[in-house]
Chains A and B, each alone.
Chain A
Amino acid sequence: MEPFHHNFNLDNYRKLLKSYITTEDETSLYQAELFSKLSMQHNILPEEIINIHIQALRELYPDLPKEIDSSLNFLLETMISYGLAYQEFQTLREKQGELESEISIAANMQQTLLSTHKPKIMGLDIGAVSVPANIMNGDYYHFVTDENGNLGIAIADVIGKGIPAALAMSMIKYSLDSFPETQRNPSVILENLNRVVERNVDTGMFITMFYGLFHAKSNLLQFASAGHEPGFYYCAKEDKFFEIKTKGIVLGVTNDTTYEQFEIQMEPGDVVILLTDGVTECRVGDRFIDTDEMLEVIREYLHLPAQEAVERVFRHFEKLQGFHLRDDFTLIFLKK
């Protein structure tokens, strides 16, 4: 241990104590405060200070009444337990710091592992935003293109939050990447992923996913859903929103599930809106906003370029919830 400041010694403390007892002046109190700050900086335990106090007192007043003298021993013993508890607390605080830094490393790694590029597809304007409620994101989206310029879109929500969720997401991402281009059929992809998840995750953990395949030449969007929060389709001709209806159980619960495939023929001005429950379960105070209110907000920004639009919608809901997200928030617009 480094040599402690010359202020921390018995002589000094005794002088301070004596000066305070005889004059009760503020200066000695101020000195005492400095003394205790220094003690903390040098990891001096509380019982050591008590010990110094006792010694100083005994030297100043050798004839202390027996009761007072033994009460000081009593205080010393008490402070020893307190000191132990305090040391334990300090150790835990250090450990907490270490864990926090590990989690932030994991979060960075998650971003690297799961990063996806928003591709440029002729005639399709894509906007995507995904914001975690805590450090780790349990939502995920992924874009993949093939040589014909077709676009595969996955949006998923893994239940169970935090690190296990992030690890499960990496598994999904690498499975998605490993499917050959010839098998990018949404229902086939979900059926394969379901088997991967069912075999590899804990009971009680599951993943919801919407998978779409946009054919650039024909503007046809094929899709299937594994229990994912339904998205919406904005039909420009009718100026109306429709819920995208699908059927299919979440990934990871049964091993022999099939997923029905649906399709939408997109026309100019149409928008496909994909989201996670962090968007639909937006709360204002004690109340959930309803679907119509949510769609009104989306409608307000729909005319903007897709990326700007999703960001503005996110900021709107973030503000509405007092800048405190309860759940991860992911929103994707595909504008024709």
Chain B
Amino acid sequence: MDLNIEVNDQGLSQSIKLAGEIDAYTAPKLKEALLPLVKKENVTVVVDLEHVNYMDSTGLGVFISALKATKEYDSELRLVSLQDRVRRLFEITGLENIINIDSTVRGGK
């Protein structure tokens, strides 16, 4: 299955909508789209994961790279609308404590 990436560029506030699966095959595509966005000073990048029904550890690797870049560029990364299966991955790996995950909007079926 493929990953669809939709970027909405509004200057300092960027949003990126993902749909599909994030795995070893699609993660490079996500990395290519996400990293340049967070590598701009003071931007906020909101990643909408409502339509991501599967993510493996390769996907986590992309978000960790992005998080490390935000520290370098003083930018901000936020993940919203995670499905339960994807959220569980962030919980198990302890990454929910260091990545800003919006807990109010919870997606998933």
B104 contacts chain A at the CB level, 8 A cutoff:
no
Q: Are B65 and A249 in contact (CB under 8 A)?
A: no
Q: Are A253 and B64 in contact (CB under 8 A)?
A: yes
Q: Which of B31, B57, B69, B97 contacts A277, CB < 8 Å?
A: B57
A149 contacts chain B at the CB level, 8 A cutoff:
no
Given contacts A157-B57, A281-B56, contact A248 B94 (CB under 8 A): yes
Q: Are B64 and A227 in contact (CB under 8 A)?
A: no
Taking CB atoms, residues of chain A closer than 8 Å to B92 are: 227-230
Taking CB atoms, residues of chain A closer than 8 Å to B26 are: none
Instruction: Type the 1/0 row for A198-218, where 1 means its CB is closer than 8 Å to any CB of B.
Output: 000001111010000000000
B42 CB to closest chain A CB (Å) equals 21
Which of chain B's residues has its CB closest to A229's CB?
Answer: B92
For the A-B complex, the count of residue pairs with Cβ-Cβ distances under 8 Å equals 54
Q: Are A206 and B61 in contact (CB under 8 A)?
A: yes
Q: How far is the CA of A250 from the CA of B61 in the complex (A)?
A: 11
Q: Are B94 and A250 in contact (CB under 8 A)?
A: yes
Given contacts A203-B65, A203-B68, contact A159 B60 (CB under 8 A): yes
Q: Which of B57, B65, B85, B94 contacts A247, CB < 8 Å?
A: B94
Q: Which of B10-47 contact A (CB under 8 A)?
A: 24, 31
Q: Which of B28-86 contact A (CB under 8 A)?
A: 31, 56-58, 60-62, 64-65, 68-69, 85
B9 CB to closest chain A CB (Å) equals 23
Given contacts A204-B65, A277-B56, contact A227 B24 (CB under 8 A): no
Q: Are A204 and B61 in contact (CB under 8 A)?
A: yes
Q: How far is the CA of A253 from the CA of B61 in the complex (A)?
A: 10
Pick the most buried of B58, B69, B92: most chain A CB atoms within 10 A of its CB.
B92
Q: Is the interface of A mostly helix, strand, loop or mixed?
A: loop
Pick the most buried of B69, B94, B98: most chain A CB atoms within 10 A of its CB.
B94
Q: Are A204 and B94 in contact (CB under 8 A)?
A: no
Q: Are A227 and B61 in contact (CB under 8 A)?
A: no
Q: How far is the CA of A250 from the CA of B57 in the complex (A)?
A: 11
Given contacts A203-B64, A203-B68, A204-B61, contact A327 B95 (CB under 8 A): no
Q: How far is the CA of A161 from the CA of B23 in the complex (A)?
A: 11
A160 contacts chain B at the CB level, 8 A cutoff:
yes
Which of chain A's residues has its CB closest to B96's CB?
Answer: A249
Q: How far is the CA of A248 from the CA of B60 in the complex (A)?
A: 15
Q: Which of B24, B68, B93 contacts A250, CB < 8 Å?
A: B93
Which of chain B's residues has its CB closest to A230's CB?
Answer: B92
Q: Are B98 and A249 in contact (CB under 8 A)?
A: yes
Which of chain A's residues has its CB closest to B61's CB?
Answer: A204
A175 contacts chain B at the CB level, 8 A cutoff:
no
Pick the most buried of A159, A248, A254: most chain B CB atoms within 10 A of its CB.
A159
Q: Are B98 and A206 in contact (CB under 8 A)?
A: no
B50 CB to closest chain A CB (Å) equals 19
Q: Which 5 A-B pairs have the closest CB atoms?
A: A249-B94, A204-B65, A227-B93, A159-B57, A204-B61
Given A203-B69, A277-B57, 9 new contacts (CB under 8 A) = A157-B57, A159-B60, A204-B31, A205-B61, A230-B92, A250-B60, A250-B95, A253-B95, A277-B56
Instruction: List 11 interface pairs A-B (beta carbons < 8 Å), by A numbering.
Output: A159-B58, A160-B61, A203-B64, A203-B65, A203-B68, A204-B31, A208-B57, A248-B94, A249-B94, A250-B60, A253-B95
